[in-house]
Chains A and B, each alone.
Chain A
């Protein structure tokens, strides 16, 4: 009986379907029947589309290209290290669609809806947990700014709520309400926001792309980008030359270095961002909270560690690590907001490279080189955009036209003054 059921499952898809039943039956076989989550592909001499970057952006793009635009032909992802080893491999896992500006909110809400269907889409438990996000406010002006944002969210069809102090205190009692330097007055809440398991997102997209015939090529660094008559023709890599009809760049913090190989200078600066996790604790914080009077935000992972972070270090860096002043600054913010954190121990810190743009918003666009496309400028907010970023970039690469929800993310917007500057700090990347 079990065997029959198992075979039935097998026939649904060419490869192993994940489910409770598959875990159960594999357990009975000592788990010897699992297949690799994705093939270790060897690079072919040419592809129709080469995606540079095997992180969240690249893998999601590969998946949606293969699924939504199979007419593009053969697709490869080339990744210089191990798949999902960049910012997708270490981030604070927050997903939300609580942006203010018309250029941003439809995109992030589109992404939110993709998150909500992701497990079914990928047959992979990305552990999407819509536990809500609370953006705390500490003054009347901040309250009104959040009301503006919440109303914008509602106008765009997302969900938003504004809580006053009494309501907030009932829902989140452990904040410092009585002895604070900047007393909490309330919060903007998005209930549908939350977290997702970042590694699962990378692996889920990788597996899905691989199942649809995309070659995922690891340990393959692009060393040159070839052009002829203003059109891209292929790449040179550490695993050989690969000809390509189209090349799509999705390498986040390394974007400037990669684009330079095509003779392009991007309006992006690379900065160091640190993030932190504590030792595992029994459930303590069941939502996502951002401090409104300092750089600090926090949530609790399903493994029990508190995952938190703050501001970028402030200087340009590719080192993937930060320095002590920010560590202290973030912990000061944490203690100011939740004095119960004092005896909780920081377990590990890590750092990544943030591609900071001139208005804090991303770029998903063609480049001056024909058939060379760029997806970059995510600053420190790329994780939540992963599904929409891949979906829209795939659309652009396949059709040559931007997807409507990402239409504002053009490279030329800076020259035109069509900025998408949520914070209003101007053309200084380290302020966004």
Chain B
């Protein structure tokens, strides 16, 4: 590296540093990106929002669409689901539903991927929480304009009646 190259590199670095200083002066504490956790600045560390409370529903929740896996209407704290035991199935398996009063897992859960019905829950359906989840009282950070299909049909009917 000759003297000229060293000089140009130093000059470039100085220009870059000056630019950064200017930016930092213009935006001393830039606002954070408008993400899920709104507010705050880039240099500010916000504390996490409090954990939401689980909701223990009385009775069944209506599904938002027919294929929706039903949500879990009770708390499932410390429920063990592993190769040793499945706590959900202690109430929701076929034999136990008579006593527990819990809904039986649907017959689709007995089918393997070739639609062969097995004697008990199919291994691919064993991990309940892959589809079924409990609900909390958390406010959704992003809005949702989903409309129930029944509402859409009713609106259509009203429009055509007018």
Task: Decide whether A and B are members of one complex.
Answer: no
Binding site for B on A (CB under 8 A): none
Binding site for A on B (CB under 8 A): none
